[in-house]
Amino acid sequence: MKRFFFFLSGFLLCFPLWADEGMWMPNRLTSQDWNKMQSMGLMLLPGQLYDEANPSLYKAVVHFNGGCTGITVSDKGLIFTNHHCGFGAIQSQSDVDHDYLKNGFVARTQEDEIPIPGMYVLYLQNIVDVTRSVLDSLPAGLKEQDRETLIRQRTAAIRNQYRDSLGTDYSITVNAYFAGNEYYANIYKRYSDIRMVFAPPSSVGKFGGETDNWMWPRHTGDFSVFRVYANAGNEPAEYAETNVPYRPEYYAPVSLDGYKEGSFAMVMGFPGSTDRYLSSWGIEKRMKSSNEPRIEVRGVKQDIWQKAMLQSDAVRIKYASKHAGSANYWKNSIGMNRGLARMHVIERKQALENQFAAWVAQDADRQAKYGPVLNLLQGGYTHSMADARTSAYVQESYYNGAEIFQLVRMAQYIHSQKGKVDPDQLFDNIIVPFYKNYEPALDETVFAAMVKMMREHIPATQLPAIFNAIDKKYKGDYARYASDVYKKTNLTSLNLIKAALTNEKQFKKIEKDPAYQLAQSIDELLESLSAAVSDDSYKVSEGKRLFMEGLREMNSGVNYPSDANSTMRLTYGQVDGYRPYDAAWYDYYTTTKGIFEKYDINNPEFNVQPEILDLLRKKDFGRYGNKNGDMNLCFIANLDITGGNSGSPVFDDCGRLTGLAFDGNWEAMSGDIAFETDIQRCIAVDIRYVLYMIDKWGNCGRLLDELTIE
């Protein structure tokens, strides 16, 4: 079960690297790593997992649409990912007459597969160490701000060199690792003709809704199926009817063998962001100045949305994806704050900082280089904490709150492009799609709540004058203020917006719009708050970089993993249950029995269509069933994942697909900052449940015929 490769002395036991922790770069795995994985049961050789010159497992894994992961499972470009990763695409193709969210979607033939505008996948080609090109010969004594500017220039030059040599079919990122102590270029091939193939009903794909989100046990069939298309030469191409299914370099076989407690498990994917080396002051700021505002503001907004969604199918379809996206990290923030407090993480970090200070004090050269580090971190985080908290409340209420503010920013952008881009084209591409999923009457209610939220959390000394004017006229009645704004605004009329964007005189009406004027005042406030914290952010950046460098120097025998940064990582461990609290034990898999236990016809989160319940009652599970005559739905393993890993393949010891990662567990929501060995779990949908739904519910044998099932 343990995945830590070094014996730790008592001195190291307080360090933020625990036994099962590690999001490892696949190109940096050491012989010790391979020995450990193989001792746990892995049958693959290094070249079978990662070989840039030949077909290997990593080439089947895709960065899915910028925020998720997917896995290629056929020689015709078939992609499995999560239902929630495909949710926006499913929603975009749904309406009241074709409610694919509620009823699911099955492409009976290849011709029925639906193109999804704007969707793309990235296939990683190779990873190149460019550290020396980025960091060598940096002038001595640079201020951190100037240092970062120079590094941005150098990384941009590296990206441009690769683009010039490889062409526009490639996407290149140059990413910082180890807090900016190392840099790697990640080179991807980008495919943008992606078509929706299969989606289960939301009663399966989102079974449990927000109640079960981040929870175990789970019974969610969180999967959807897409296909990558290419031109006749198998190269990336924009959508065209003549395009054909993509022929991948490698695709993953699918296993029906299942797993047992202790089975080897491995995930490859694109985890978004972790901050495992965050200081004690940084954790306090994260909890108070980021998580707390997000929890409060999103909670209010989501309650308003949810009430409206329950009253109208049309509103439900329009706001389903928005609500899911908002609620995901709202609940994560709640769990993170609870977990950090329960695990006494701040105290553990303080112990580490004391050890670091003692190590620095032992040597004059260390004092010269690392002596200022802790002061940089403490000052950088604490000096501007109050301004950061205010900014978070405003940003959550403004950027993520009332949608009319998005319309203001869209109008500003389109107007700024006058003479550069056809405004009619921008209007059709930006404003019209937004309106497809917009309900002004609902937004008016949200607007009132968000203005009230900002008024309550902006200190009097920083409050824009417009709020005082609102107070004077409306005397705290924000619903009345919102009603007046939405009566007078031009922003809730497509015709008026279009006229304003094509006529300078008409645009002046937009500039006098009450929503526009409020937005301008908020923009000015956020700009001043940003300026107030910018100097501190550079102190933090310098402190984190030097702390990471010193930590690796202090413990040169420890193979520290770099924080996640949306690049490919590998994590491995074992299928295993856990003890969430005293006297309780969670098993490592769930079955269909749990659906019937949770089923509630009066609760949309736990309601399931009768035909699906009838299918499960028949217990005609065939090759997808377990030895007890039931069928496994989900399982857990002690794998180190985070946001961005959604849709990641879970592989067995032979590199065969056994499931799709879709969540972490509630007790370990602090895992992005502090990994907890005993309780951190990756939740995955069992691939046999996926195949069962495709086969028995979808009656779509043509997809199964494409797979290599073992």
Q: Which domains does the chain have, with CATH numbers?
A: 10-99+214-223+253-270+568-706 (2.40.10.10), 280-546 (no CATH)
Candidates 324, 68, 72, 66; CA nearest to 202 is: 324
Distance CA 648, CA 657 (A): 10
Active-site residue set: 84, 222, 646
Residue 182: beta bridge partners? 177
Return the pLDDT at 439. 96
How many other CB atoms are found less than 10 A from the CB of residue 139? Answer: 8
CA proximity to 192, closest of 224, 247, 230, 249: 230
The pLDDT of residue 14 is 40
Where do we find the tokens 């309900």? 439
- Give the residue among 139, 216, 134 at the shortest CA–CA distance from 175: 134
Asked whether the predicted pLDDT for residue 2 surpasses 60, the reply is no
**Contact status, residue 75 vs residue 247, Cβ threshold 8 Å:** yes
What is the distance between the alpha carbons of residues 488 and 400, in angstroms, rounded to a whole number? Answer: 23
What pLDDT was estimated at residue 505?
79
What's residue 17's pLDDT? 40
The yes-or-no verdict on residue 218 having pLDDT over 50 is yes
Band (pLDDT 50/70/90 cuts) for residue 498 is confident
CB count within 10 Å of CB 432 equals: 12
Q: pLDDT tens-digit profile of 37-90?
A: 999 999 999 999 999 999 999 999 999 999 999 999 999 999 999 999 999 999
**What is the average per-residue pLDDT within 473-498?**
92
CA distances in angstroms from 267 to 110, 650, 664, 683, listed in the order given: 30, 5, 13, 11
In contact, 694 and 216? CB cutoff 8 Å: no
pLDDT confidence band for 170 (50 / 70 / 90):
very high
Measured CA to CA, the distance from residue 236 to residue 166 in angstroms comes to 13
How many other β-carbons are positioned within 10 Å of the β-carbon of residue 502? 16
Quick one: three-class SS letters along 620-660? CCHHHCCCCCCCEEEEEECCCCCCCCCCCEEECCCCCEEEE
Q: Which of 57-61, 623-627, 673-677 has the lowest mean pLDDT?
A: 673-677
Q: Tokens for 336?
A: 């993170």
Q: In 79-208, which residue ranges form alpha helices assigned H by DSSP?
A: 87-92, 100-103, 131-135, 144-166, 202-205
> What pLDDT shows up at residue 503?
78
Q: Give the model's pLDDT for residue 294.
A: 97
SS (H, E, C) 361-393: HCCHHHHHHHCCHHHHHHHHHHCCHHHHHHHHH
Side-chain-side CA neighbours of 329 within 13 Å: the count stands at: 17
All residues at 6 or more sequence positions from 588 whose CB lies less than 8 Å from its CB, including other chains: 261, 575, 576, 577, 635, 636, 637
- What's the chain's average pLDDT? 93
pLDDT at residue 507 greater than cutoff 90? no
| Number of C-beta neighbours around residue 13 at 10 A | 10
Contact in structure between 85 and 647 (CB atoms under 8 Å): yes
Instruction: Round to the nearest angstrom and report the end-to-end CA distance of the chain.
Output: 26
Report how far Cα 292 is from the mean position of its chain's Cα atoms.
Answer: 19
Distance CA 693, CA 638 (A): 26
Instruction: Give the pLDDT confidence of 226-257 residue by residue, as tens digits.
Output: 999 999 999 999 999 999 999 999 999 999 99
Residue 429 has what pLDDT?
A: 87
Q: Work out the average pLDDT over 117-138.
A: 97
| Residue that the structure tokens 């309406």 belong to | 95
Tokens at residue 35, please? 């020995």
pLDDT at 626: 96
pLDDT of residue 20: 52
CA dihedral (542, 544, 547, 548) positive or negative: negative
Taking only the tens place, the pLDDT of each residue in 533-543 is 888 999 999 99
The CA distance from 68 to 79, in Å, is 12
Contact present, 388 and 289 (Cβ < 8 Å): yes
The percent of residues above 90 in pLDDT, for the chain, comes to: 86
Length of the chain: 710
Q: What pLDDT, in 10s, does the model give residues 274-307?
A: 999 999 999 999 999 999 999 999 999 999 999 9
* Radius of gyration in angstroms for the set of CA atoms belonging to the chain, rounded to a whole number: 26
Which run of H or of E encompasses 684?
strand 682-686
Tell me the pairing of strands 105-106 and 193-199: antiparallel
Do 248 and 621 touch, CB atoms closer than 8 A?
Answer: no
pLDDT at 6: 29
What is the DSSP track for 291-356?
IHHHHHHHHHHHHHHHHHHHH-HHHHHHHHHHHHHHHHHHHHHHHHHHHHHHTTHHHHHHHHHHHH
Residue 217: is the preceding peptide bond cis (ω within 30°)? yes
Classify the C-alpha dihedral 295-300-306-309 as positive or negative: negative
Q: Per-residue pLDDT for 7 more than 70?
A: no
Residue 584 has pLDDT above 70, yes or no: yes
Cα separation, 268 vs 667, in Å, equals 23
* Amino acid identity at 635: F
